[in-house]
Structure 1
Amino acid sequence: MDKIDLSEVCQNYRARVIRVTPLDDYYLLETNRGPKELHVWPRVDVMRWSFAWRERLARQGFREVERFIRTRESKPYVLVGKQGVTMTDHLRKVDSYPSTVYTSYQCGRVVAMMHQSQQESNLLAGIDYLQQEQMKAETEWTRAKALVESFRSKYRREKGEKRWVAGLMDPLLQRMERSTIMLGSDSIAADSVGVSHRDLFRDNWGLVSGKLHLRGFFRPALSVQQRDVASYLRDVYLRNQDLQQVDSFLDGYEEVKPLSYGDYTLLLAFMARPREIWKSVESYVKRVAVNEDVPITGIEQALLSQQSIDTLLRHIADRAERPRSEGIHEPL
C-alpha cells in the first residue's frame, strides 16, 4: 500500500472521516456520508483515462459503475506528488451475478459501451499496447524455442514422463508461433485498436440491489480491447462450458460495437496463446534441470483446459467466418 498523508487528502472532500482501515489495495473509510474507498494511482495518466471512460459510460446510460467522487473544488481526484488519489462509494453488499444467456448479453453490451468510451480518449494510444503484446509474444516464443532445444539435447534418450513432455513441445511451439503471427496480421487496422484493461473477468461484475454493476480497474494493467474480450470469454467458458453464453456476449457486444475481421483475428490470437501449457511445461523443465522430483499433474490439468479452449477457438473462428463476404481471407 502506498504511503500518503490520509488526513491531508481527506480534507479535500466534504465527507468527515470517522475511521480508516487499510486493505490490500485501497483504504476503506467510514464517513458521515457512508462507507468510501480511497484508491492510490501510481500513474496519473491512467487515472485520468479511467475517470474519462467512467463518465462517458455513465452518459451513455450505464451508471452502475464506480465513479470518482468530486472534491470540495469539484475535482474528480487529488494529486499527491507524482501519484493520484480517488474516492468512490464502497458497496457493502455485492452478490454474484447469475451466469445465464441473458446476463451474458447484458455484459456484452456494457463492455462494448465501455470500450467505446475508452476509445474516445486520446490519452493512451492503442497501437503502443498492441506493439507491446507483439513484442511479448515474440520474446516468449524465442524463450520457448531455447528451452525446448535445451531440454531435448539433455533428455532426448530418456523414456517415461520426460519423453512424454518432450512430445508436447512441437505443438506448443506451433501454437505460440501462430499466436505471434496473428498478432501482426495485416487485417488489423492500427487506427481501430483501442486501449482497455489487460484482463476482464467475472469478478469485475456483481449484483447490487438486483442491478448489474461493473467493478474494479483501480490499478489496471493495460492492453488492447480484444485481450479484454478474450480473457472474459475464456474465463466464462472454462467455468460453464456453455457456447450459448459466448454467442450471447458477442451478440450484445456487436449490437453496440461491431467487430471487424481484424478484431476477430486479434481476439483469436490472444485465445490461441497456450498460456497454461507453456507455464506448466516451463516450470517442469526448470525444476527437472535442478534434479527436483516433479509431478506432471500441472501439465495434465493445463492440457484439459486447452482442450476446452480449443473448442471455444473453433466456435469463435466459425463465427468470424460465417458473416464475412468482403473478399477472401486466410482461414483463422
Structure 2
Amino acid sequence: MNLQEERLRNHLDGYPFTIREVRHEENGWYVLTDRGRKRIIYCQDENLIRWSHSWREYLVNQGFRHVERYLVNGQGEHWVSDSTGSYALSDYWEQDYGWSKRNELQMEGYRTFGELLAYIHLCFDSVEEVYRGRYRKKGTLNETRLKSSYRHLHTITKEIESRQRDTKDNWLLYNLSRVVERVRKAEALYEVSGVENDRTPLSFAHLPLSSLVYWEPCWYITGLHNPVLVPRHEDTVALLEQIHELSGTEGVNQFLSAYANVRRIPVSEKSYLLALLCYPLPILSGLESLSYSPGERKRITAGFQLQGQREKVLQCVTKIRALYEEDSG
C-alpha cells in the first residue's frame, strides 16, 4: 500500500518529540526525530497489532527490556487507527545474526532465543480469545494437505513401478514406503493435537534467527511486525532447523533446555510439534514432478538429506523430557 506522508504526519503529531523527516525506504517507512530514528508500523488489522503489542509488553514485564515496543503518544495510546488500518511507532534495530557465526556467542544466543520464545508462548497461554483475522493461516499441516500427500506419493510409486527401472529407481521406491510411514505418523500425531479443531494457540508462521541481534553487551529482539499466525510451534521448528544447520544438535539442545527452564509444553502442543518434525516436508517438496530428470534427482536427494537433519532435531526434541508437562507420558 502506498502510504502518504501527509497521513503519517497527522498520526505522528501526537508523539512527544520533534518530527524532522518522514522517509520511505526499501524496508518500510521511517521517521527521523530529535530522539533518533523510529520505525513506522502499519497494519490493516488492529487485532494483529494488539496481539503483537501484547507479547512485547509481556517480555518487558519479565525483565527483557530490549524489544521493539510500540511507543506511547500524548494520548497514552500505543497505536492509532483510522479507516485504512492501524499505525504505531517504535525504536528498532536492523535484523542481523552475525553473532551466530561467533563461537563465543552462539550458545548464549540460542539460550536467549529459547527463553524469549518460551515467554512469548507463555504470554498467550491464558488468552481464550481466538484470533480469526486476515493474517491467520492453517499452517503446514491440515487434513487436506495430509490426504494430498498420500495421493501424491501413491501416484509417484505407481509411476515408478510402471516403467523400466534402474538402481536409482529401486532406491527411491524403497524409500518412498518409508516416507509414507512418516506421513502416517505425522497424521496420527496431528489428530491427537486438536489443531484441526482450533485448540492450539497461535504463533508465528516463521521466526528468523536474524530477529535476535547482539549489541554488546545486550541482546535485542527486532522486527516480527505483522506476522502470519498459525498453530503454535511452527516458529519453534523454524528456529530449531536454523540452529541445527549452524551448530548441530549441541545448539538445538541449548535452545530447548532454555525453553524448558521457562515453560513446559502441554500434551496437545507436544503432539503437534512432533507431527511437524515427523512430516517429511523436505522430501515432498522435492517430489513436485514425475519426470525424474537428472536435475530432479538432485533435488530429491537434497530433500532426503534435509529430512535427515530434521530427524536429528526430532531426536533432540524427544529426548529432553523436562521440556514437557509431567502427564505427557
Which range, TM-score by smaller chain? Answer: 0.7 to 0.9
Residues in 1 aligned to 2:10 and 2:327: alpha-carbon distance in whole angstroms? 59
Which residue among 34, 58, 83 is the counterpart of 1:56?
58
Which residue among 224, 231, 242 is the counterpart of 1:224?
231
- Report SS of the residue matched to 2:320: helix
Correspondence for 2:46:
44
Change (3 A) 1:137 1:171: farther
- Given that residues 67 and 88 in structure 1 are in contact (C-alpha distance below 8 angstroms), is that contact kept between their aligned partners in structure 2? yes
Which residue among 193, 206, 212 is the counterpart of 1:205?
212
- Given that residues 97 and 212 in structure 2 are in contact (C-alpha distance below 8 angstroms), is that contact kept between their aligned partners in structure 1? no
Q: What 5-or-longer segments of structure 2 have no aligned partner?
A: none
Correspondence for 2:146:
141
Structure 1 residues 257-303: Cα deviation after superposition (integer angstroms, max 9, x where no partner)? 12234433222111122222111112x33xx39xx874322222221
Which amino acid is the alignment partner of residue 282 of structure 2? E
Which amino acid is the alignment partner of residue 203 of structure 2? S
Structure 1 residues 222-260: Cα deviation after superposition (integer angstroms, max 9, x where no partner)? 12332222221122112221x232222222212111223
Residues in 2 aligned to 1:250 and 1:104: alpha-carbon distance in whole angstroms? 9
Correspondence for 1:111:
117
How far is the alpha carbon of 1:196 from its aligned partner? 1.7
**Normalising by the residue count of structure 1, what TM-score does the alignment of the two structures yield?**
0.82
Residues in 2 aligned to 1:8 and 1:50: alpha-carbon distance in whole angstroms? 23
Pair 1:68-2:70 in alignment: yes
Residues in 2 aligned to 1:325 and 1:81: alpha-carbon distance in whole angstroms? 48
Residues in 2 aligned to 1:324 and 1:95: alpha-carbon distance in whole angstroms? 32
- Report SS of the residue matched to 1:184: helix
How far is the alpha carbon of 1:16 from its aligned partner? 3.4
- Report SS of the residue matched to 2:73: coil
How far is the alpha carbon of 1:40 from its aligned partner? 1.2
- Given that residues 137 and 230 in structure 2 are in contact (C-alpha distance below 8 angstroms), is that contact kept between their aligned partners in structure 1? no
How far is the alpha carbon of 1:61 from its aligned partner? 0.8
Which residue among 6, 14, 17 is the counterpart of 2:16?
14
Residues in 2 aligned to 1:139 and 1:184: alpha-carbon distance in whole angstroms? 13
**Normalising by the residue count of structure 2, what TM-score does the alignment of the two structures yield?**
0.82
Pair 1:183-2:190 in alignment: yes
Which amino acid is the alignment partner of residue 301 of structure 2? E
Correspondence for 1:310:
311
Q: Percent identity?
A: 17
How far is the alpha carbon of 1:192 from its aligned partner? 8.0
Structure 1 residues 78-105: Cα deviation after superposition (integer angstroms, max 9, x where no partner)? 2131411111113369663345333322
| Number of residue pairs the alignment of both structures matches | 318
How far is the alpha carbon of 1:309 from its aligned partner? 1.4
Change (3 A) 1:93 1:31: farther
Residues in 2 aligned to 1:34 and 1:215: alpha-carbon distance in whole angstroms? 16
Residues in 1 aligned to 2:169 and 2:178: alpha-carbon distance in whole angstroms? 16
- Given that residues 118 and 196 in structure 1 are in contact (C-alpha distance below 8 angstroms), is that contact kept between their aligned partners in structure 2? no
- Over the aligned positions, Cα root-mean-square deviation in angstroms equals 3.3
- Report SS of the residue matched to 1:100: helix
How far is the alpha carbon of 1:50 from its aligned partner? 1.0
How far is the alpha carbon of 1:75 from its aligned partner? 0.7
Change (3 A) 1:65 1:120: farther
Residues in 2 aligned to 1:21 and 1:166: alpha-carbon distance in whole angstroms? 56
Change (3 A) 1:293 1:311: closer
Which amino acid is the alignment partner of residue 222 of structure 2? R
How far is the alpha carbon of 1:122 from its aligned partner? 4.1
Change (3 A) 1:216 1:121: farther
Which amino acid is the alignment partner of residue 3 of structure 2? K
